[in-house]
Amino acid sequence: RKYSMRSCIWLRFQYIQTSFFVSDGYCTGRVEIYHNGEWGTVCDDGWDNNDANVVCKQLGCGPPFIVHASAYFGEGTGKIWLDDVGCSGNEKSLSECYHRGFGTHNCEHVEDAGVTCYRKCIYYYPVRLTGPSWCAGRVEIYYNAAWQTVCDDGWDLNDAQVVCSQLNCGVAVAAPHSAYFGKGRDKILLDDVACMGNETHLTRCSHRGYLDHNCSHSQDAGVICSGEKIRLIGPSRCSGRVEIFNNGSWGTVCNNSWDINEARVICRQLGCGTSLSVLHFGEGIGEINEVTCTGSERYLPECSYSRDGAQNCNHSQDAGVICSGNVFFLLNVLVKTCMNLSQPTISLDYASGVMWGQDATLTCSVIEGRVGGLFVFRRMPGNFIQTVSSSSNTVSFHITQANLRDEGLYQCLFQRRVSDQDVNTSFSDSLQLTGNYVLIYICHFL
């Protein structure tokens, strides 16, 4: 039967505070109807989203967010006015829906129906990204008590930006199509989404309507946001300790699982080329994050990482990276830092002195292991330079039948070719060769 007594029927929510809404409760609570001078409840037999939609609409609220049964908001008192309510969803009043008749039921108040509607002025449907991180994944919207997907028809960076903004995930950097992050399991909620990019919520963008689509889950849309801000603290923009801005403060990354793969993603996202080395650039402060990448990810949010802090890690293990973006710094660091090369040393084979006409040998060494490269000897005053290649950490320069012309101050340096650039250490301290004998002393040029 249908009853058309809208002028005589009032509707209200008996509100109980919930954690989701922080309003006056006007759009959430136990459903009650005023009939024949008395407020009464509605039984939850057959109570569904269509019935809840009529209630939310009648009260001037947004569409239903959750349909409640079993006296979720507590048991009412007095009459149970309606049972077996069956709305199509288009009715203007609950009294226009099918029901058994006022006061006719087989229920107890433990079955009182309730509804949580969206506030009409908000239309806020929760959004999440299901994927490797909070800021990258398949777009899903919580609607009618289920997480539902979005079709990729017309899906672009403007649409993705609204999602990133809604989740506080920074700037949209990609809007993947074709179920890039896998297929969803429930319904497809939105299709033909067309955002300007400045909307506060995805459901405020233009679309075909809820659950109106011509798609399959193989077309589920995805989003990749820039995520937390990332920076490198060190001698250049493209080299330093990795830091992530999270929860209002900067934190570091643990190097337990940190290798060239994670470094590659960082360099790529920062526009610093590719990664060439991972290093420790001193201790940072704040939260320590754990990151694991394969190296093929375009942005850090695509990697798997924990926002809850790394276990068994301290700031002495803070990860760092050297990217190829800063060539001059890179070349020097590769030699002096990555390989820990220090100033070379120079020595002469005759500690007791060299007589004129006698052969002499100068040896230049770097203290680290077998590095290989080019050693350069020079004599001052004058412009004498001699280069000797070596595959080890030491090389010798032979002077045949030393004479007065060979007298002077000798120094050496180590040179290596990296990325088509010559990278040098500093020159060694000076060794003086004089006639008839050799006097060795160290000169520091300030």
Architecture in CATH of 345-433: Sandwich (2.60)
Residue 438 has a pLDDT of: 39
Is residue 243's pLDDT more than 70?
yes
Count of beta carbons in the 10 Å neighbourhood of residue 397: 18
Q: Which residues partner with 348 through β-bridges?
A: 362
Q: What is the pLDDT of residues 170-209, one digit of tens each?
A: 788 889 999 999 999 999 999 999 998 888 889 888 888 8
Between 443 and 428, the higher pLDDT residue: 428
- What average pLDDT does range 324-350 have in this prediction? 58
Residue 199 has a pLDDT of: 85
Q: What is the pLDDT of residues 112-136, one digit of tens each?
A: 999 988 765 444 578 898 887 777 8
Which band of pLDDT confidence, cut at 50, 70 and 90, is reported for residue 236?
A: confident
- What average pLDDT does range 396-422 have in this prediction? 77
3-state class (DSSP) for residue 235: strand
Residue 25 has a pLDDT of: 46
Residue 407 has a pLDDT of: 81
Q: What is the pLDDT of residues 251-310, one digit of tens each?
A: 888 888 788 888 888 888 777 778 888 888 888 888 888 888 888 877 777 777 665 556
pLDDT averaged over every residue in the chain? 78
CATH class of the domain whose range is 127-225: alpha beta
Q: What is the pLDDT of residues 81-90, one digit of tens each?
A: 999 999 998 8
- What average pLDDT does range 100-109 have in this prediction? 93
- What average pLDDT does range 332-352 have in this prediction? 61
DSSP annotation of 336: I
Q: Which residues contact 31 (CB under 8 A, 6 or more apart)?
A: 11, 13, 41, 42, 55, 94, 112, 113, 114, 115
Shared fold status for 127-225 and 230-337: yes
The domain locations on the chain are: 6-117, 127-225, 230-337, 345-433
Beta carbons of 429 and 342 less than 8 angstroms apart: no
Is residue 137's pLDDT more than 70?
yes
Architecture in CATH of 230-337: Roll (3.10)
Residue 308 has a pLDDT of: 55
Q: What CATH number should be reported for the domain whose range is 6-117? A: 3.10.250.10
Q: Dihedral sign, CA of 65, 121, 12, 85? A: negative
Residue 247 has a pLDDT of: 63
Beta carbons of 397 and 378 less than 8 angstroms apart: no
Between 332 and 323, the higher pLDDT residue: 323
Residue 4 has a pLDDT of: 34
Is residue 110's pLDDT more than 90?
yes
Residue 140 has a pLDDT of: 95
Residue 166 host element (H or E):
helix 157-166
